[in-house]
Amino acid sequence: MWSPNPSTLIMLLLVFSLFQVPAFAIRKSYIVYLGSHSHAPGVSKVDLQLVTDSHYNFLSSYLGSKAKAIDSIIYSYKRHINGFAAFLEEEEAAEIAKNPKVVSVFLNKGRKLHTTHSWDFMLLEENDKVKRSSLWERARFGEDTIIANLDTGVWPESQSFSDKGLGPIPSKWKGICQNSHSVPCNKKLIGTRYFNKGYLAYTGLKLNSSLNSARDTEGHGSHTLSTAAGNFVPGANVFGLGNGTAKGGSPKARVASYKVCWPPVNGSECFDADIMKAFDMAIHDGVDVLSVSLGGDPVDYFEDGLSIGAFHAVKNDVVVVCSAGNSGPTPGTVSNVSPWMITVGASTLDREFQAFVELGNGLRLKGTSLSKALPKSKLYPLISADEARKSDASVKDAILCKKDTLDPTKVKGKILACLRGETARVDKGEQASLAGAVGMILCNDKLSGNEIIADAHVLPASQVNYTDGVAVFAYIKSTANPVGFITAPNAKLGTKPAPFMASFSSRGPNTVTPEILKPDITAPGVNIIAAYSEATSPTDEPFDNRRIPFNTESGTSMSCPHVSGVVGLLKTLYPNWSPAAIRSAIMTTARTRDNTQNPMLDASYVESTPFAHGSGHIRPNRAMDPGLVYDLTTNEYLDFLCALGYNQTLMEAFTSNRECPKPAINLHDFNYPSISIPKVLSGSVTVTRRVKNVGPAGTYAARVVKPAGVSVCVEPNVLKFENIGEEKSFKVTLKPEGSRKALQAKKSGVPKRYVFGGLNWSDGKHYVRTPIVVAAA
Ligand SMILES: *[C@@H]1O[C@H](CO)[C@@H](O)[C@H](O)[C@H]1NC(C)=O
Ligand SMILES: *[C@@H]1O[C@H](CO)[C@@H](O)[C@H](O)[C@H]1NC(C)=O
Ligand SMILES: *[C@@H]1O[C@H](CO)[C@@H](O)[C@H](O)[C@H]1NC(C)=O
Ligand SMILES: *[C@@H]1O[C@H](CO)[C@@H](O)[C@H](O)[C@H]1NC(C)=O
Ligand SMILES: *[C@@H]1O[C@H](CO)[C@@H](O)[C@H](O)[C@H]1NC(C)=O
Ligand SMILES: *[C@@H]1O[C@H](CO)[C@@H](O)[C@H](O)[C@H]1NC(C)=O
């Protein structure tokens, strides 16, 4: 009999993997995905046990006995997702994959959190910028909407999760507070669960008490959850900087934490088997919005636990928001590309943490920092790290301020100039401090160019760009007694241009289904301040003993929950809108210009494209009133899968009453709020779309911004709507223009160049924009 006690189960698995498996038969943890359940509402314990039994029976037909099946199975997915995770040999997995009832069999892979490393930046209130107060008020601050994340857990003592001002827990909530003596819940933090069996199965680690808790010891999960839905916290700051009221996008929403990420093993920290279990439970528990700031390499939809989980969530009207990844600016790196997810890139805010470097020769260089001020307002002696090296250290290592390269007798009492590169920025600060420096100027190397980052260094410091760094070293060499000063960091608002795309934000094209443009949207993801875990330091380095309730971090991990917070508001305002309608509202109202009114830029200061920003930068107040939406039903997602080659047999794994359309739909006609033509045009291509009126009656006219060298014809180009909910279709025909040479079809390979345009439906009040991307050569 299956024992529900996790520790017993893990012991069993270990015992079996140690003693019963012959050395040559390597068993790994796999996921066997069987599609959907068709439980009636109010499924009973007996029904769930029947599911588990069916999984045992299924597996025992391959392994030879029910006892072996019971020993192998790690998880049964019983409620919405149908399938199980189990220890299998490669040959067994291959045999099972041949069964026509099986949708897919894949290894329990590890995923990564989408944060660049911590010790990041600082800002006042990420929400001021987007002035979402009117949406806030109308949406009652997201009251009673339930937003959850799949992440590293939660720091429940954070003020962001205080239940001040909140009424009783919404009655629809069916979740639990697992291990509440370790992580107590309240009327704000209404649920926690943790999932570690997939992690233990992959790593072979032993279960211990810290793995049996949803407590966040890393900071990431608390940061993302509070960004999405943290309560109001006045006087929040990081070392006194950026003082203001911290708040999430839906400050009165309820939150729940599903911990699926654990201390990294070989760079992986969140595993598919756990992710799928968390999705299955979150859907059951009654979550409205799931914020998922993690991912792996882009893979097929049904060989990816996150994509499978998201599919079932959306099928049940739960909106799933995911980070695009931090592998930019290389093209084709965007992950979490399923058409049922909202995929979020990251861009900057209009604020900097300026700390000026003043040199004895009168130069004043704008650097950035989050560290404390120098003790006295006076010029300090300066030394460059190569000159401060120990006798046995090389110039090359010393100038990078590596460990054990600096001579304290030379450094003591001075400001030390170090070169960026090789070792962690905050570690250079630690070495400078250990050698007795009073401050540090961190000079960019050529590679890091103009990208300067405000770190919470352990000593007063400022980071300057490459050209300024060259000037610092040149000044020090030019005089016998170089002197300098670093001003206290100061948060400066209204910096221009902003937003611009973060260079780390993963870029399209979508390598899984290039007909779907990804990412969908961009949101602030650089220098984001939010709640943190007090189990770790702001630099996340062992030498750093500081503990702070709020910290700054950067990554698409941080932009994702901004969108989740806005989704929470839209869910409160429009409880009956589908996840696709909510995504459409966010996408078609986005902005593509920055605060200089020019097109948004990339980190390299060239114009950004939809491969970086999708439809543009989120504009919450506009999203509340989109006019028209491009909606999608679950059946349309199934038709999409049919078009990808998932045949009728597999469709039956999802639903018994849907046939694959014959012929299959053209992927160009999938009703997505963007248009992507990934094959170089040789003749014309026609794309069909359908828009639904969600605003007042009105007449919408189409306006096109042509991609260079492509003619675009919209038919009809006027749509008249009389009622809410009315839907109208239209066609967009794209043709290479003029001389064929401009858009000549290349015979082979991935297109090298794309051209960009847009379609804009307007009734004079609403602007419903969709980007158009066409392969050009
Ligand atoms: C981690 O990587 C090392 C070196 O590649 C390998 O020997 C080890 O088995 C890996 N550990 C796990 C749990 O995969
Ligand atoms: C529990 O195991 C994890 C993973 O190996 C480890 O990081 C952590 O320090 C352990 N905690 C305790 C209390 O032993
Ligand atoms: C932050 O602002 C609040 C209210 O304006 C003030 O009471 C508090 O002292 C400030 N804290 C810091 C560190 O500046
Ligand atoms: C480096 O920063 C300075 C401001 O101190 C600025 O004037 C200069 O243009 C920057 N260099 C580059 C290459 O952007
Ligand atoms: C569907 O595909 C599977 C595997 O690709 C195949 O075994 C099965 O026969 C197909 N079914 C139909 C109805 O074509
Ligand atoms: C959309 O069209 C309207 C007029 O029809 C125009 O005012 C607006 O600037 C257009 N927006 C974009 C982003 O093309």
Q: pLDDT tens for residues 261-293?
A: 999 998 889 999 999 999 999 999 999 999 999
| pLDDT confidence bin for 133, thresholds 50/70/90 | very low
Tokens of residue 87, six digits: 């220890």
Ligand nearest to the CA of 588: 6
Residues 102/32, Cβ–Cβ less than 8 Å: yes
Q: Output the CA torsion sign for 623, 257, 533, 140.
A: positive
Average pLDDT rounded to a whole number, residues 605-609 = 90
Residue 26 CA to ligand 1 centre (angstroms) = 14
User: Residue 526 — pLDDT band, cuts 50, 70, 90?
Assistant: confident
285 included as an active-site residue: no
131: pLDDT confidence band, cut at 50, 70 and 90? very low
Q: Which two tokens stand for residue 732?
A: 């967009």
Whole-number pLDDT of residue 93: 98
Q: 356: CA distance to ligand 4 center in Å?
A: 12
Rounded mean pLDDT of the chain?
A: 90
Per-residue confidence band for 116, with pLDDT thresholds at 50, 70 and 90: low
Mean per-residue pLDDT, 616-635 = 95
Backbone CA torsion sign across 450, 456, 458, 460:
positive
pLDDT given for residue 121 in this prediction? 25
Q: CB within 8 A of 133, min separation 6: which ones?
A: none
Domains in the chain (CATH in brackets) are: 27-107 (3.30.70.80), 112-348+503-538+547-623 (3.40.50.200), 351-493 (3.50.30.30), 671-775 (2.60.40.2310)
Would you say residue 597 has pLDDT above 90?
Answer: yes
Contact 728, 691 (CB under 8 A): yes
**Residue 120: pLDDT band with limits 50, 70, 90:** very low
- Residue 313 confidence (pLDDT) above 50: yes
Looking at residue 267, its pLDDT comes to: 80
8 A C-beta contact, residue 493 and residue 527? no
220 noted as active-site residue: yes
For 139, what's the count of Cα atoms within 13 Å in the CB-facing half-sphere?
Answer: 29
C-alpha–C-alpha distance, residues 538 and 458, integer Å: 10
Is 47 part of the annotated catalytic residue set? no
In this predicted structure, the answer to whether residue 472 has a pLDDT above a threshold of 90 is yes
> Does the CB atom of residue 468 touch ligand 4 within 6 A?
yes
Q: Which ligand places an atom closest to the C-alpha of 589?
A: 6
- Write phi, then psi, for 411 (nearest 5 degrees): -90, -30
Give me the catalytic one of 71, 144, 151, 285. Answer: 151
In this predicted structure, the answer to whether residue 118 has a pLDDT above a threshold of 70 is: no
Q: Provide mean pLDDT across the span 641-654.
A: 85
What's the whole-number mean pLDDT along residues 709-737? 96
H helix or E strand, kind and range, residue 94: helix 90-97
Q: What is the pLDDT of residue 501?
A: 92
Q: What is the pLDDT of residues 224-267, one digit of tens each?
A: 999 999 999 998 888 888 778 888 999 999 999 999 999 999 88
SS3 readout for 472-515 = HHHHHHHCCCCEEEECCCEEEECCCCCCEECCCCCCCCCCCCCC
Give the C-alpha separation, 427 to 435, whole Å: 12
Most confident of 209-223, 490-504, 647-661: 209-223
What is the C-alpha to C-alpha distance for residues 9 and 269, in angstroms, rounded to an integer?
Answer: 21
Query: Which single residue is written with the structure tokens 């090359």?
Result: 396
Amino acid at 137: E
A 10 A CB-CB count for 180 gives 12
Q: pLDDT class for 75, splitting at 50, 70, 90?
A: very high
Task: Give the pair of three-digit tokens for residue 617.
Answer: 């930068």
Q: Which of 119-133, 437-451, 732-746 has the lowest mean pLDDT?
A: 119-133
For residues 320-345, average pLDDT? 95
User: Quick one: which of 494, 502, 460 has its CA closest to 613?
Assistant: 502
Name the residue of 243, 245, 372, 548 whose CB sits within 8 Å of the most ligand 3 atoms, as the mutation to test its pocket. Answer: 243
Q: What is the pLDDT, as a whole number, of residue 750?
A: 56
pLDDT in tens, 161-189: 999 999 999 999 999 999 999 999 999 99
Taking CA atoms only, the protein residue closest to ligand 1 atom 2 is 266
d(CA 16, CA 457): 48
Cα diameter, the chain: 84
Mean pLDDT of 87-100: 96
